Amino acid sequence: MNRLVRLFRTSIGRKLVVAASGVLLLGFLVVHAAGNLLILKGPDALNGYADWMQGHPLLWGFRLGLLGLFGVHIVTAVRLAHANRAARPVPYRRIARLGARLPGRLMVVSGLLLLAFLVFHLLHLTARVVAQSGNPLLDDAGRVDVYGMLVAGFSQPLIVTIYLGAMALLGLHLVHAIEGMFQTLGFNHDSYQTLIRVLAPLLTLLIVGGFAAIPLLVIGGHLHGGG
Ligand code: HEM
């Protein structure tokens, strides 16, 4: 047990924690984007899916687990970045060009901005206390009208801008994160490099594209009406 605690205090231990929690968060993003895309099948499919999730006995267990994952991922990543900066020898710091420091900083800054987006997103679509102006809350079957809520939300250019900005940040964060994750988890042999360089942007594009499609389709007038 002591060895495990000691491992998590080392740089490699922290990297493993960030990578492993990152893989699980990535899994959540894939499932979340796929679930959201049910909007393409219409109000019944999306509202039915959301209703099933809301009534699921494991909902709060899942939410707590997700909260823990986000917490561990963010706190460990910030600590790691801090420790890396502190451990850097002075001569390196003097000669460091912006290019050498950019990826690490980019990850922390984009990660913290994504956290701010997540807070906004939860207030917007889960707690439904911001930017909700009189759209119907229930569909004809008496379920929460998530479809109508998304159409109403993404008919507002400001909301679309916020979401698309956040998706651009998510893309930036994910493409570096996925590359780093593979390396930390041991896929760092030369023969994996090409695969990683193709897989990281491809997976990022799929996730970000899946999310961004929804505000773009709504504001473009391709999805309208509620349940
Ligand atoms: C255009 C992009 C997105 C759309 C349309 C969207 C849509 C939604 C909707 C409709 C809900 C509420 C579900 C319900 O209460 O029934 C929700 C919840 C949530 N979203 Fe998103 N989302 C998007 C992007 C994201 C991103 C990028 C993240 C993570 C960084 C994220 C994380 C969450 C979380 C953690 C919840 C709460 C889940 C729960 O209630 O247990 N979402 N999202």
Question: For residue range 24-69, what is the model confidence (pLDDT) as tens digits?
Answer: 999 999 999 999 999 999 999 999 999 999 999 999 999 999 999 9
Tell me, yes or no, whether 199 lies in a domain.
Answer: yes
Instruction: Find out whether the beta carbon of 119 lies less than 6 Å from any atom of ligand 1.
Output: no
The pTM (predicted TM-score) of the whole model is 0.89
Res 55: pLDDT: 94
pLDDT in tens, 144-164: 999 999 999 999 999 999 999
First CA to last CA across the chain, in angstroms? Answer: 53
Tell me, yes or no, whether 76 lies in a domain.
Answer: yes
- The C-alpha angle 173, 179, 180, rounded to 5 degrees, equals 85
For residue 129, the one-letter residue type is V
Tell me, yes or no, whether 18 lies in a domain.
Answer: yes
Instruction: Find out whether the beta carbon of 63 lies less than 6 Å from any atom of ligand 1.
Output: yes
Tell me, yes or no, whether 225 lies in a domain.
Answer: no
> 14 forms bridges with which residues in the sheet?
none
Burial of 68 (0-12, 13-18, 19+ CB in 10 A): exposed
Cα 192 to chain centroid, rounded: 25
Res 99: pLDDT: 46
Tell me, yes or no, whether 122 lies in a domain.
Answer: yes
Tell me, yes or no, whether 227 lies in a domain.
Answer: no
Instruction: Find out whether the beta carbon of 121 lies less than 6 Å from any atom of ligand 1.
Output: yes
In this structure, the residue with its CA closest to atom 11 of ligand 1 is 125
Res 1: pLDDT: 61
Res 98: pLDDT: 45
Q: How many domains does the chain have?
A: 1
Res 93: pLDDT: 52
Cα 50 to chain centroid, rounded: 19
Residue 169 domain boundaries: 2-219
Instruction: Find out whether the beta carbon of 163 lies less than 6 Å from any atom of ligand 1.
Output: yes
Tell me, yes or no, whether 150 lies in a domain.
Answer: yes
Burial of 133 (0-12, 13-18, 19+ CB in 10 A): exposed
Q: Which of 24, 36, 113 to mutate to test the pocket of ligand 1 (most atoms within 8 A of CB)?
A: 36
Task: List the pLDDT tens digit at each of the 227 positions of the chain.
Answer: 677 777 777 888 999 999 999 999 999 999 999 999 999 999 999 999 999 999 999 999 999 999 999 999 999 999 988 887 777 665 555 544 544 555 678 899 999 999 999 999 999 999 888 777 665 688 888 999 999 999 999 999 999 999 999 999 999 999 999 988 888 887 777 778 888 889 999 999 999 999 999 999 999 999 877 55
Rounded Cα distance between 170 and 30, Å, is 13
Tell me, yes or no, whether 178 lies in a domain.
Answer: yes
> Which CATH number fits the domain that encloses residue 162?
1.20.1300
